[in-house]
Amino acid sequence: MERGVAEGGLGPGLALPPVRRLADELAVSPGTVATAYKELRQRGVVVTRGRGGTVVAEEPAVASRRPPKVPEGLRDLAGGHPDPAFLPELRPPARIAPVFGSHRGSPRLPRLEELTREWFARDGVPAERVTFAQGALDCIGRLLSTELRPGDAVAVEDPGFHHLLDLVPALGLRMVPVAVDDEGLRPEELRVALRGGVRAVVCSPRGQCPMGGAFSEERRDDLARVLRDFPEVLVVEDDHNADIAGAPSYALATTGLARWAQVRTVSKHLGVDLRWAGVACDAATLARHDGRMLLTSGWVSHVLQQTVTWLLEDEGVRRLVAAGERAYTERREALIRELGRYGVRAHGVSGINVWVPVRDESAVVNGLRSRGWWVAAGARFRISAPTAVRITTAGLTVDEAARLAADFAGVLGESEATYGG
């Protein structure tokens, strides 16, 4: 079977014969077939879907789907990047003393560990146990690979962060989409996913990409009540733009869950090239994460750690980040308001993106391209969610928002005339 999958004879989603039937066909014991199926599941070749039987797994991604190159001369609103005007100048250490041996024995700088604890504690997240990683996806990938086995199911947001939607199948795991709205994950849909056997949940408490949702206090509490019925499930919160989200923190990490981790990065507010993340989590999750890191990269570069430490301690940097958060909120709200003038509904209560439902993504993307704008088609972010486009508003001025909204409305009018909407 493994050879058949590798050579293309057995395609993704193909249902395999029931154990007893295959055992009869091959003249072997059912136990032999069951053992073979188990090994195939462990290798990520097949997945079990309950009553749906055992099927060939979807082909895992070997690289993240990169967005199309921005055509020359267009205003780029598709990348999801912060405005460079609100990013501080990076100041790596000028002189680095030679290191004897390695840093495996002391992987974290004490001062940065202290600042990380303060960062989480500011929002009530338990900070007794913290560690570091090389970015949010690096951390999430390590947590999932140590906690789960190939074929296990992970609940993900739909629409959700496209790099995560590539990472999960690349690990040999199965994605279970959970719909989101302006307040984040929908509790009843999460309950359905949990009852279906998911082993981990990955979500964003605010600044959700691409929809911009943020947990309200009530939604956070509703989700926590659902999750408490499944204490063995690992809940990973990706609070990737905690300092510029423009929304308060109502984190699941504050609700006393048994298995949890919250990940925060600095790439959105201190610099996209700072591949560093702080992690707060329960004791078992910390041990598994750090144990795996010890065997691979070992530690996060101390040069990088020192750079992050200096930035976090700099009062001028803190003022710049705060100014950025205010500007991002103003720009995001301006576009939503201007679109509303034309009867166009948009989502984005936090973060640096606005999600606009449309009937035909390609028509809107190409129509806006003809008017000088470049936005992201929603297909990269969706599993089964309705069609939409994502607009990054981080660098969009208030005056530009009015012009973009007028162009957007014009494109929708052209699309309806063309497609008979």
Mean per-residue pLDDT over the chain, rounded: 93
Please check the confidence at residue 65 and state whether its pLDDT lies above 70. no
- Is residue 223 very low, low, confident or very high in pLDDT (cuts 50, 70, 90)? very high
Tell me what pLDDT residue 244 has. 98
Q: What is the pTM of this model?
A: 0.85
Please check the confidence at residue 217 and state whether its pLDDT lies above 70. yes
Whether 256 and 223 have beta carbons less than 8 Å apart is answered as no
Radius of gyration of the chain (CA): 23
* Bond prior to 210 in cis (omega within 30° of 0): yes
pLDDT, tens digit, 9 for 90 and up, residues 279-334: 999 999 999 999 999 999 999 999 999 999 999 999 999 999 999 999 999 999 99
Q: What is the mean pLDDT of residues 34-55?
A: 81
Tell me what pLDDT residue 420 has. 39
Q: What is the mean pLDDT of residues 407-421?
A: 74
Tell me what pLDDT residue 50 has. 73
Q: What is the mean pLDDT of residues 223-249?
A: 97
Please check the confidence at residue 176 and state whether its pLDDT lies above 70. yes
Distance CA 86, CA 93 (A): 22
Sheet holding 376-377, edge to edge: 353-357, 388-392, 376-377
Tell me what pLDDT residue 100 has. 77
Tell me what pLDDT residue 419 has. 42
- Exposure on the CB side of residue 54, measured as CA atoms within 13 A: 21
pLDDT, tens digit, 9 for 90 and up, residues 181-203: 999 999 999 999 999 999 999 99
Tell me what pLDDT residue 151 has. 83
User: 320-346: string of b/e by CB count within 10 Å (b at 16+)?
Assistant: bbeebbebbbebbbbbbebbeeeebeb
pLDDT, tens digit, 9 for 90 and up, residues 86-107: 999 998 887 777 877 888 989 9
Please check the confidence at residue 66 and state whether its pLDDT lies above 70. no
Q: Which two tokens stand for residue 162?
A: 């496209």
Percent of the chain whose pLDDT exceeds 70: 95
Question: Cβ contacts of residue 367 below 8 Å, gap of 6+?
Answer: 410, 411, 414, 415
Tell me what pLDDT residue 416 has. 59
Tell me what pLDDT residue 421 has. 40
Q: What is the mean pLDDT of residues 345-361?
A: 97
Please check the confidence at residue 224 and state whether its pLDDT lies above 70. yes
